[in-house]
Structure 1
Amino acid sequence: MSVSVETPTRRPARPVPAPPSDSAPPVGVERFSGRGLWTLVVVLAGTFMAIMDSFVVNVAVPSIREDLRASFAQVELSISGYVLVYGLLLVTGGRLGDLFGARRLFLAGTAVFTLASLAAGLAPDPVSLVVFRVAQAVGAALFYPQVLAVLQTAFTGAARARAYAAFGATIGLASVAGQVLGGLLIHLDLFGLGWRTVFLVNVPVGLLTLLGARRTLSPTRATTAGRGLDVTGVGLLSGALLLLSVPLVVGQQAGWPTWTWISLAASVPTLVAFLVWERRLAARGGSPLVDPALFRSRVFAGGNAIALTFFAGNAGLFFVLTLQLQNGMGYSPLAAGLTFAPLAVTFSVASLLAPRLQARLGRHTLTLGYAVNALGTLALLGTAWAAGDGLTGWLLMPALAVIGLGEGLGVSPLISTALSGVPARVAGAAAGVVETAGQVGMSLGVTVLGLVFSAAVGGAQHTAEPAAVSQAFTITLVGNLVLALAALALLPLFRAAPTAPTASTVDRN
């Protein structure tokens, strides 16, 4: 089967004094066949590995504590340290992909992630485990932004829509697979390795992904000499994200001491300083970490605002529902993971159906998805309120299936719309910004809704009576509903948005 291609005809009005990009304008595949299909398989394998690893570790916490004689704080640091470093480096990883090529960064990041997974699976003590988890985060932050960059530049038209749909379906499957697979691996205790298999399983997947990437991803090179990484921008953005993320990740467990509030407050002027620096650097003809011209598009800026709100609601729901299932209803990690299965199935199905709906409804597909998500959240709230202490996983599943349907229609179309019109030379950094918005949103959602849950349960989440946990879960679902409705209310930013900036528009700034 032949592969039809579309060669861009629009060119910048004058030579581009901009950061280096690929050696030629991107050639987008319009139909899946041959190399294009294998390219998609490879980047989705990386997506599955990165997303699954974010969830698979949670169920291993008790086993890690017992085997390594680790304190609860050490195990929590192995989780929170991953989240922190991953969130800090996403934009930088994306920008490095723009500078040196998505293929190089995907290969380098996957190699680091795979080696760190092997080391984590062999960790002899808690400190080593924390270090290797941080190394995993570095690898993930290097390769994951390249996934969206490849989807944006390697495909066009209907093929791009289907690629994003497959990306969304992969996220849904990986999210639940992480929890279910983690519980299953620990239960099976393969070769007597116990919790170590939740890390070691990444090794064969990572090696196959590396092999596939070397054979299928197109080599790219920089074409403009002398344009390096914006180190000052990296420092300012990393500082702002660090000041924001650390309190969100550890504040609740630490009891919100004074330093957490100082850190949160200091993140605002640091972020402002980053934005001012980026504008000045761009005005001088430099190579900013994030081109300020991107945010002149209401599509891109609005997409990031919606991503922050939408993912805050999703992550908050997953967090409080896990507490309800395990602490309120006494479910094992495996049983709790299986309760999420209907959500994952409908999420994946909806993601695959999204391109057809987009062809008919356009951006109204997002309106439909977020409305269904809000209705599912309302149904979940009604179910929890009506069932009270008699709530079971079976009663939750229908509402969770509806929520998954809405989320599936709301993830891949959101990302593809936010990145529409983004020039190929900054696709990596733009993808990193969208991913960072989602990551910050997830941290905010877990923190804010976690605070609501803790206040409702009286502060003792792990020792509270099941009835108190169930009541707190019902109360917290009101906050989830507010976030679901907020994401729906932000959609006019897309509908009223002018066309996103083209390559020439960004190049002039």
Structure 2
Amino acid sequence: MWTLLVAMAGTFMSIMDSFIVNVAVPSIRTELNASFAQVELAVSGYVLVYGLLLVTGGRLGDLFGARRLFLIGTVVFTLASLAAGLAGDPVTLIAFRAAQAVGAALFYPQVLAVLQIVFVGRARATAFAVFGATIGLASIVGQAIGGLLTHLDLFGFGWRNVFLVNVPLGLLTLIGAARTLPAGRTAEDADGHGSGLDLIGVGLLSSALLLLSVPLTLGQQAGWPAWTWLSLTAAVPAAVAFLVWERRLAARGGSPLIDPALFRLRTFAAGNAIAVAFFAGNAGLFFVLTLQLQNGMGYSPLAAGLTFVPLAVTFSLASLLAPRLQGRYGHHVLTLGYAINAAGTLALLITAWVAGPGMTGWILVPALAVIGFGEGLGVSPLVGTVLAGVPARNAGSAGGVLETAGQVGMSLGVTVLGLLFFAALGGAHGTTAAPDAYTGAFTVTLAGNLALALAAMALLPPLVRKN
């Protein structure tokens, strides 16, 4: 029980920090006299560095123990949060946001390793259900918490509270982890000999992810200059070079960053593809819905954040219900979840089309609640199914791969659906676009979101097929 609670505290902190800063952007710009590009980098830099290091963090946990890496990562994250909250200029804030991401990338993959190793049978299914519920709460409630902390201006710290809140949370998590997390076996224990970190693999994978992630994160704001397309193109040979190196290293008995044998597990390979499609649709919906609520409908950041609450509630409820349904329907609970998610997306599309300029947050609530329920049935069973056949010695790196797939999907979703949204908007950004133009763009973009939901369903057969 306490082990699960500590693991979920780490999950909540790492996911929440991807979202909590968004609503504090205006206050940060004003107090630090920061440019929009600097504040954008403070927000996106966390996601970028975090995504780059997840696989490496997971592999380090395999090599040196999940408990040790969880503790180190939590210390780094907590100290960086304190420093970010005390930052006196934009450059310092950006640097310590990156340090936060390093800490999160060290401890977060260990959560999946702990759940995979410590819990078995029905207890494991329940643990993954709680994990899924925590992800939903952190990703959606994070925006509301950020708005609330900024609005309340506790102790006169204003926006700094969105970082400083991690200090007591981090300290409590650190104490709990030191007392409850098991030491576990390292790769050295399992193999009977030491096996170092694959530094060449780290370099090649980081290069590929960097070439992919930087243009996806910054390209839209920069207007898609030539370097963004060159970077995206160069990501392909970099990824191929990484795969070739990993196979050669494994063939000669080395210790690759990602064991190529993992992708011969059909559930692992298909599950990562589903994660890309699912999280692309999820993140893309959050992005365009936030634009619609704030720019198109004139909602305040706090009101916009609260509109997501029904989705968070149904997501969490479905996550907790998933183990019981999985006991009855097996892996077909994933089919049910993604079907409900697609139906909710279709309902949201129809609602937006019928309501038109008269759209309100309340009108969107029923469809958002259905989407949240479908997503809740689709996350925790997906994680459990994908990692079920993974050897314990590779649990950390496998979890890192799965989380990286989700991060790449989120970047792709925001980029692709964002491009579709602004193209449908006709190039009129910000306050220059009329509310009905935003509504039309939102409706068109939801069609793209529905396509991603259907793509996730189409990738399901390898996971739900009987072994």
TM-score (normalised: structure 2): 0.98
Asked whether the 8 Å contact 1:102–1:146 carries over to 2, the reply is yes
Q: CA deviation at 1:377?
A: 0.2
Higher helix share: 2
The reply to whether residue 491 of structure 1 matches residue 456 of structure 2 is: no
The question of whether the paired residues in 2 share the 8 Å contact of 1:349 and 1:408 is answered with yes
User: In structure 1, what is the Cα distance between the partners aligned to 2:430 and 2:338?
Assistant: 32
Deviation at 1:292, TM superposition (A): 0.3
Equivalent runs, 1:381-420 vs 2, <5 Å: 381-420=349-388
The one-character-per-residue Cα deviations of 1:355-412 (angstroms, maximum 9, x if unpaired) are 0000000010000000000000000000000000000000000000000000000000
Question: How far did residue 496 of structure 1 move?
Answer: 3.7
**Alignment partners' CA distance in 2, 1:364 and 1:462:** 43
Q: Deviations over 1:308-346 (max 9, x none)?
A: 001000000000000000000000111011100110000
Partner SS, residue 444 of structure 1: helix
Match of residue 427 from structure 2: 459
SS in 1 for 2:19: helix
- After the TM superposition, which residues 65-214 of structure 1 pair with which residues of structure 2 at under 5 Å, given as runs? 65-214=29-178
Q: What is the distance in 2 between the residues matched to 1:161 and 1:227?
A: 31
Cα pair 1:297 1:497 within 8 Å, conserved: no
Residues 17-416 of structure 1 aligned to structure 2 (within 5 Å): 37-220=1-184, 221=186, 222-223=188-189, 224-416=192-384
The letter of the residue matching 1:306 is I
Quote how far apart the aligned CAs of 1:435 are. 0.2
> Paired residue for 1:479?
448
Q: Secondary structure at the match of 1:460?
A: coil
Residue 225 of structure 1, CA deviation: 3.6
Cα distance in 2 between the residues matched to 1:167 and 1:441 = 19
Distance in structure 2 (CA, Å) of the matches to 1:466 and 1:99:
54
Larger displacement relative to structure 2 (81-90 or 451-460)? 451-460
Structure 1: which amino acid aligns with 2:169? V
The unaligned stretches of length 5 or more in structure 1 are: 1-36, 499-509
AA aligned to 1:467 is: D
Q: How does 1:439-458 map to 2 (within 5 A)?
A: 439-458=407-426
The RMSD of aligned alpha carbons is 0.9
Moved over 4 A (4+): none
Contact 1:325 1:336 in 2 (8 A): yes
CA distance in 2, matches of 1:459, 1:163: 46
* Equivalent residue number for residue 24 of structure 1: none
Residue-by-residue CA offset, 1:61-104 (whole Å, 9 max, x unaligned): 00000000000000000011111110000000000000000000
Q: Does the Cα contact within 8 Å between 1:461 and 1:469 map onto a contact in 2?
A: no
Mean Cα deviation higher: 423-432 or 461-470: 461-470
Q: Deviations over 1:443-500 (max 9, x none)?
A: 00000000000101123332322221111001100000000011011101213475xx
CA distance in 2, matches of 1:253, 1:279: 37
Question: The residue matched to 1:400 in structure 2 has which SS?
Answer: helix
SS in 2 for 1:54: coil
What is the percent sequence identity of the aligned residues?
Answer: 77
Q: Identify the match of residue 428 of structure 1 among 392, 396, 399.
A: 396
Contact 1:48/1:171 (<8 A) preserved: yes
**Contact kept? 2:265, 2:389, Cα under 8 Å:** no
SS in 1 for 2:430: coil
Whether the 8 Å CA contact 2:294–2:300 is kept in 1: the answer is: yes
TM-score, structure 1 as length reference: 0.90
What is the distance in 1 between the residues matched to 2:439 and 2:35? 28
The runs of 5 or more residues in structure 2 that have no matched partner are none
> Hey, what's the Cα distance between the residues in 2 that align with 1:480 and 1:448?
10
Q: In the aligned structure 2, how far is the partner of 1:208 from the partner of 1:460?
A: 47
In structure 2, C-alpha distance between the alignment counterparts of 1:352 and 1:373, rounded to whole Å: 17
Separation in structure 1 between the aligned mates of residue 427 and residue 166 of structure 2, nearest angstrom: 36
C-alpha distance in 1, partners of 2:103/2:426? 39
Residue aligned with 2:355, SS: helix
Instruction: Report deviation, 1:124.
Output: 0.5
Aligned residues: 462
- For 1:235 and 1:475, the matched residues in 2 are separated by 40
| CA shift for structure 1 position 40 | 0.2
Contact 1:298 1:497 in 2 (8 A): no
Partner of 1:22: none
Deviates more, 1:179-188 or 1:125-134: 179-188
